[in-house]
Amino acid sequence: MINIALLGCGRIGQMHAANINAHPRAKLAMVFDSHKPSADNLGKSLGVPVAASADSIFASDNVDAVLIASATETHADFIEQSVAAAKPVLCEKPIDLNLKRVNECAAAIAASPVPVQLGFNRRFDPGHRAARDAMRAGDIGQLHQVVITSRDPEIPPRSYLQSAGGLLRDMTIHDFDLARFMLDDEPTEVFAVAGALIDPALGAELNEIDTAMIILRTADGKQCHINNSRTAVYGYDQRIELLGTTGMVQSNNQKRHELKRYNRKATEISEAYQYFFIERYHEAFMAEVSAFVDCIENGTTPEVSFEDGRRALILAEAAYLSVAEKRMVQVSEIDS
């Protein structure tokens, strides 16, 4: 059993805690949150010890590895501390909102063999992964286009948006990672349009956007289109399409079940989509923990690396520059 300690007992921390506890090869060793009641509640509900500090987790012989699910601004420091303590890390996205800080963190951990896995859970979704496997196996011939639709069911509260770091760094970061995963290549050019269409006051108050369309292109001309909305009234919309010279594959939305209802007014009425990321990506989050445990047990390199987190942030910065300057941006302008 791999003893994993959890840093951060908020929304996603609670989910990770339950997933670790349910995992056959992992055990939740202890939890910590700077907001003590959050840690106490989670520790009590799962019957696991609450650490007195983050430092005591890094120092503990009872902790084999660390899962960082605390607020984004803590990630880079915790990654550095974990690596220095020789504890493998699974860290939620994004590494940090500031590329300079991410580069400093990269330099700080560069010489260490300690595994650092980034929390890009969507790569582990069975449908998304099957699409990529099919593409790699040649099922659709030569890949030309990737289309990623990623829309949230409802816009988060202002309090969240104030510190989330902006749509492209907080939400689209998953899609930038999926774009790289599906293209199996690095985008070299980025063009983006974005605005506050759902809540126009967001733009004025927080300089925030809630709706975006982004085009990416690789050096050999493969194209990717990402479209994001913070509110799709019909639910969490997560679709991926790969078009190649001999066919197309789609990874589609999921429902709780496939029952269809028929009446005088409508046919094929089906369940709503699974509500949000915790429900929709449950299998993916579990597989993400499995991949982390595999790395620790087998001494292998994580499939989703720190560098994947850094590259996704570079694409986010390129997209912001494109929005600001209304032009196609070369990724090399950011990653220089």
Ligand X SMILES: NC(=O)c1ccc[n+]([C@@H]2O[C@H](COP(=O)([O-])OP(=O)(O)OC[C@H]3O[C@@H](n4cnc5c(N)ncnc54)[C@H](O)[C@@H]3O)[C@@H](O)[C@H]2O)c1
Binding site for ligand X (CB under 6 A): 7-13, 32-35, 38, 54, 69-72, 74, 92-93, 119, 121, 170, 277
Rounded to the nearest whole angstrom, what is the least distance from the CB of residue 279 to ligand X in the complex? 12
Rounded to the nearest whole angstrom, what is the least distance from the CB of residue 240 to ligand X in the complex? 16
Output the six-digit token pair for 224.
Answer: 């990717």
Tell me which H or E stretch contains 152: none
Rounded to the nearest whole angstrom, what is the least distance from the CB of residue 113 to ligand X in the complex? 25
- Closest-by-Cβ residue to ligand X is 10
Query: Which residue reads 């939305």 in tokens?
Result: 253
CB nearer ligand X, residue 144 or residue 239: 239
Distances (CA, A) of 209 to 25, 52, 84, 171, 172: 41, 39, 37, 11, 11
Output the six-digit token pair for 94.
Answer: 């994004």
CB nearer ligand X, residue 92 or residue 208: 92
Rounded to the nearest whole angstrom, what is the least distance from the CB of residue 196 to ligand X in the complex? 20
Rounded to the nearest whole angstrom, what is the least distance from the CB of residue 74 to ligand X in the complex? 4
CB nearer ligand X, residue 95 or residue 249: 95
Extended strands (E) in 177-272:
187-195, 211-218, 223-229, 237-244, 247-251, 260-261, 269-270
CB nearer ligand X, residue 8 or residue 309: 8
The CA-CA-CA angle for residues 40, 45, 77, to 5°, reads 45
N-to-C CA span, the chain? 42
CB nearer ligand X, residue 74 or residue 211: 74
Output the six-digit token pair for 24.
Answer: 């056959």
